[in-house]
Amino acid sequence: MIDLIASTPTIRYAVLLALFALVAIGMWTLANLAGKRMAVRGELRQIHGAGSTTVSTDTLTARNDSAWIRLVDRIEKAGLSLNDNKGNELTERLRAAGYTSPEAPRVYTLLRLVLVIVLPTVLVLFSLWGGHQLSYLKLYIFGSIAALLGLVLPALFVRAKADRRREAIVNGFPDCLDLLLVCVEAGLGLESALDRVAKEMVTSHPLVSNMLATATLRLRAGASREEALRRLADEAGVDEIRSFATLLIQSDKLGTSIATTLRVYAAEMRERRRMRAEEKAHRLPVLISIPLVVFMLPVMIGTLMLPAAIRVVRQLLPAMTGG
């Protein structure tokens, strides 16, 4: 059996792919189980700490005991700088994706450098292992493509994660406004209302709860209401929350009722959510028409044209050739 596998390239490649698939599925299963256990532990910690806002202190302080941060420090001490030329833009993109640590840009740059080196190396090793001799031209072309993927893949991952985070915040913010309105109309102040809503939304909308708890901690630490709200809007990176922060700041400066402001803006947010749902519903016919045209139109054309083509082959062509 081993001799057959070693002598037949097709079977050898199939066995290697099967082993790779088994290892990948096993690693994915283990990561999924570990992620579920960590999520359950996080929920238990949040429930245990429901009496205080300490569940969100990780967003205010960076954990300097991370292995990645220690690795970055060692590499920079060795003489390789990991600072990006567009540091502010990179920091904003990573913050929009949820990476608020000050060391996140350097870790991101390190990952890109590692992928630029690792992906071409893996490509060459697989080619040599499979018995294929790559010419210099093929090595240059495929190595360049693999290195380019190493540069692009982290950016795509960060962008996708930022989009998912933004969507989760936008979907959960109308519920946050409704709860804030109830708390304010019940007689709570803005700081107490933010604290209460943050505790109530820990399970349903953890991202929104995290941001509100962070703003509450800033207010308790001595920051002004305007500063805390503006930093809340900057960290969220969502237009709706920026408008919400601006409205609260203006209401605070002008002395108008916060409850009235929240009621009007909550109605506007619900209307926006309804319009987004209608927009997605109206896009469905256009999206469905694409696979219909791509897959059904050639079949319909073939079905309609096949009898005529058979008739041409059987009758018209022999008549034209005199056969």
Distance CA 60, CA 53 (A): 12
pLDDT at 248 over 70: yes
For the chain, give percent helix, strand, coil, nearest 5: 85, 0, 15
Residues 6+ apart with CB under 8 A from 269: 173, 174, 177, 240
pTM above threshold 0.85: no
Distance of alpha carbon 64 from the chain centroid = 24
Among 22-31, 66-75, 116-125, 275-284, the least confident range: 66-75
Q: What ranges make up the beta strands (E) of 88-171?
A: none
Q: What is the DSSP string of 252-318?
A: HHHT--HHHHHHHHHHHHHHHHHHHHHHHHHHHHHHHHHHIIIIIHHHHHHHHHHHHHHHIIIIIHH
- In the chain, where the domains are located: 1-48, 169-276
Domain 169-276 fold:
Receptor-associated Protein (1.20.81)
Per-residue model confidence as pLDDT tens digits over 117-167: 888 788 777 777 766 666 677 777 877 888 888 888 888 888 888 888 888
Q: How far is residue 24 from each of residues 15, 114, 172, 230, measured CA to CA in Å?
A: 14, 20, 34, 44
Instruction: Tell me how far apart the 2 most distant CA atoms of the chain are, in Å.
Output: 100
